[in-house]
Amino acid sequence: MIAVIGDQETAAGFRLAGVSEVYEPKVGLEGDTVRLLDKLTRDEIAVIIINESFTTETNVQEKIKAINEKKQGVIPVIVTIPDKKGPSETKVDEIGDLIKRAVGVAVE
């Protein structure tokens, strides 16, 4: 199952594409994105797609790192996507890290 955490435009696009688990964190509500990540990992979602703009908060980055460190295997896969402003300057290759962890070899 796929879940999306995104802004209004991203959420609308994924809903139109047929994704039923779409969430829009409340702007200015501290910890809402972390709460959603907790919920989705308990619900055993396979893929979590999240806007980069929501991952700029330190506590969100720490939560994603904690999820990736404690999971067995590769599920859930957390993929960050750019919002309508485009990709951010800082880039973390989560997929590459997952491949390296699963296979034991870095893919370039």
pLDDT in tens, 55-92: 887 788 889 889 888 888 778 899 988 877 766 665 55
Range of the domain at 18: 2-103
What per-residue confidence (pLDDT) applies to 91? Answer: 55
What per-residue confidence (pLDDT) applies to 104? Answer: 74
Residue 89 backbone class (left: φ over 0; alpha: ψ -120 to 50; beta: rest): alpha
Residue 41 lies in a domain: yes
Residue 50 lies in a domain: yes
Q: What is the CATH number for 95?
A: 3.40.50.10580
Total count of domains within the chain: 1
Tokens of 71: 């999971």
Residue 70 half-sphere exposure, CB side, CA atoms within 13 Å? 9
CA 78 to chain centre: 4
Residue 108 lies in a domain: no
Instruction: Tell me how many helices (H) and strands (E) the chain has.
Output: 4, 4
User: Which DSSP symbol is given to 105?
Assistant: S
